[in-house]
Amino acid sequence: MTKYTLNENYKINFKEFLLDIKNYFRDNNQTIHKARNELKIINHSGIDTVVKAFKVPNIINRFAYSFLRSSKASKSYEYSLKIGDFTPKPIGYVEFYSSGLLGESFFVSEKFNYDFTIREPLLDKGFPNKEEILKSFARFTFELHENNIFHHDYSPGNILVKKESDAYVFKIVDINRMKFMPLSNDIRLKNFAKLWMIDDDLKVVANEYSKLINEDSNECIQIALKFSHSHKNKINMKKRLKGIEVVD
């Protein structure tokens, strides 16, 4: 059994592509990420798409995704529609079932031609226009939060950046774990924690963000630093327990 949903804007050219996605994916070698899930760039009908293949869940989650809650592919598509221009354009998703349980699933979106992810300026002290990028990123995050969007995987590789003239355009990806709710200032500032920023970079971002929410700059910086340090300590402790060397 197969379940799918296709964006109305792509129905003319993409139904066959979506339903036969397993073959398209298997025959394509343009992998851009492979870990728990795999992402490939596949051109179809003159459009570059990013196809995300989700790992087949364990048996408990196969049952849950089949009967109790939406799959990750489904959430990725639904959330993409909900948040609009904050993410690349969604094309559709498809789920394949065997014995009544979810097996393979895929989410397809248009490829966003970004120049870099936010990771690059965070790692490179001499990255061109770094301070302006960080300030623009703070303003982008503020717009997310003003739209009641909290991205649980707000990490460097999930934030794409494209330079257009003298401005920067940001898009978020890997969006199947999100919450939609009014956000307190503490929760807003906590959203920067997974970016693993050095303190000086986080101070630039938090200072710019404080202006947008009309709160004291020093207080916002201290709150953001507190959440960032707490997250780093938690992750580093897990690494030490696993015997992984941690570089402070």
Q: What is the pLDDT of residue 240?
A: 83
Please state, in angstroms and rounded to a whole number, the distance separating the CA atoms of residues 166 and 99: 54
Residue owning tokens 């596949």: 42
Please state, in angstroms and rounded to a whole number, the distance separating the CA atoms of residues 88 and 79: 11
Residue 8's CB: how many other CB atoms inside 10 A?
6
Residue 74's CB: how many other CB atoms inside 10 A?
21
Closest among 79, 130, 78, 72 to 104, alpha carbons compared: 72
Q: What is the pLDDT of residue 227?
A: 98
Q: What is the pLDDT of residue 12?
A: 87
Question: What is the reported pTM?
Answer: 0.93
Q: What is the pLDDT of residue 28?
A: 96
Please state, in angstroms and rounded to a whole number, the distance separating the CA atoms of residues 89 and 112: 8
Closest among 170, 172, 167, 161 to 194, alpha carbons compared: 172
Closest among 96, 63, 93, 62 to 76, alpha carbons compared: 93
Eight-class DSSP state of 37: S
Q: What is the pLDDT of residue 14?
A: 95
Please state, in angstroms and rounded to a whole number, the distance separating the CA atoms of residues 221 and 208: 10
Q: Per-block average pLDDT, block size 10, for the chain (248 residues)?
A: 95 94 96 94 97 95 92 97 97 96 97 97 94 98 98 96 94 96 97 97 98 98 98 90 72
Give the 3-state secondary structure of residue 227. Answer: helix
Q: What is the pLDDT of residue 244?
A: 78
